Amino acid sequence: MMKKDLSHFIDEVQKCNPAFPFETPLSLFNDGKIAVHYAPFEHINKQAKIVICGITPGKTQAEESLRIAQSGLKEKLSLSVTQQRSKQAASFKGLRKNLGEMLDKIGLHQRLSIRSCDELFDKHSAIVHYTSAVRYPTTINGKDYSGTPKASRHPFLKQMLDTYLAEETEVLGNDCLWVPLGKGATDALEYMVSQGMLHKNQLIKGLPHPSGANAESVALMLEMHYPSLEEYQDAMYQKYLRSTKSDKPQSEEKYKSARRSRWENIAKVRSFYGIE
């Protein structure tokens, strides 16, 4: 696969409407189901000690990246500066607070010798690289791609892993830590391990995705004192009954079964990282 970057899309980026990032001029691939579009996410922070890796940039991130790139091109900034600004400004907006707190919870701030992992998004941004397993914004049936099918099993997406993600692992080296956000990103990084591009001990995996949609798992991960399963199930069920507006609330057995699964998953992660 030929690598594509801003130098190949200068005219298209200058002319596009960032509010509509998935228009044909920016298309890289489309098989009627999976579509990949260009946005400036290729900058690599070569001084990084840690990588925060999602599955793919979403529409909001693509819009922001294109908007900043347009501004940089208009100001006649160098392509490298424009790429850097576009990447950093658009990366993981809205996820940073939860992510920083969870990374602190597992003690990563101590490993990096910083006060808090919140500082990775400002004061210590020089030591973090933000990226996505599938570098350029990808959708499936018009919705953000979330990792199904696995990127390593789709011909074009696998080429992207072997071309773009492999480039980043090589540039950043064997001492850099990688934090995958969600199962799709984890699958992609484990594929890199299988290809010899990463070592297992470079991966910091298992953390719940820091999005608002995953608030329950994030809250469990951040608990100061982990509740017993029974306490958690009872408290959550009572909270559910108080908040539901349905005339036919979910049965207690079914609701508590779902809470058990969530509780057990996060308990395993906390145990792995030595959190009581």
pLDDT score recorded for residue 90: 63
Residues 6+ apart with CB under 8 A from 6: 13, 40, 42, 69, 79, 82, 83, 86
pLDDT score recorded for residue 107: 95
Please indicate whether residue 276 or residue 260 has the higher confidence score (pLDDT).
Answer: 260
Query: How buried is residue 30: exposed, middle or buried, by Cβ count under 10 Å (0-12/13-18/19+)?
Result: middle
pLDDT in tens, 154-212: 999 999 999 999 999 999 999 999 999 999 999 999 999 999 999 999 999 999 999 88
pLDDT in tens, 54-65: 999 999 899 999
pLDDT score recorded for residue 102: 96
- Calculate mean pLDDT across residues 8-32: 96
Domains along the chain? 6-214 (3.40.470), 223-272 (no CATH)
Quick check: 233 and 251 in contact, CB under 8 A?
no
Q: How confident is the model at residue 121 (pLDDT cuts 50, 70, 90)?
A: confident
- Residue by residue, DSSP assigns the chain as -----GGGSHHHHHHS-TT-TT-GGGEEEE-SSEEEE--S-----TT-SEEEEESS--HHHHHHHHHHHHHHHHTT--HHHHHHHHHHHHTTTTTHHHHHHHHHHTTHHHHTTSS-GGGGGTTTGGGEEEEESS-S-EEETTEE--S-S-GGGSHHHHHHIIIIIHHHHHHH-TT-EEEE-SHHHHHHHHHHHHTTSS-GGGB---PPP-SGGGHHHHHHHH-SSPPPHHHHHHHHHHHHHHH---SSPPPHHHHHHHHHHHHHHHHHHHHHTT--
Per the structure block, which two tokens stand in for 260?
Answer: 């058990």
Please indicate whether residue 211 or residue 267 has the higher confidence score (pLDDT).
Answer: 267
- Calculate mean pLDDT across residues 26-48: 96
Q: What is the mean pLDDT of the chain?
A: 94
- Evaluate if residue 94 carries a pLDDT over 90: no
pLDDT in tens, 75-92: 999 999 999 998 877 667
pLDDT in tens, 219-246: 999 999 999 999 999 999 999 999 988 8
- Calculate mean pLDDT across residues 11-25: 95
Question: CA 97, CA 276: separation in Å to the nearest integer?
Answer: 22
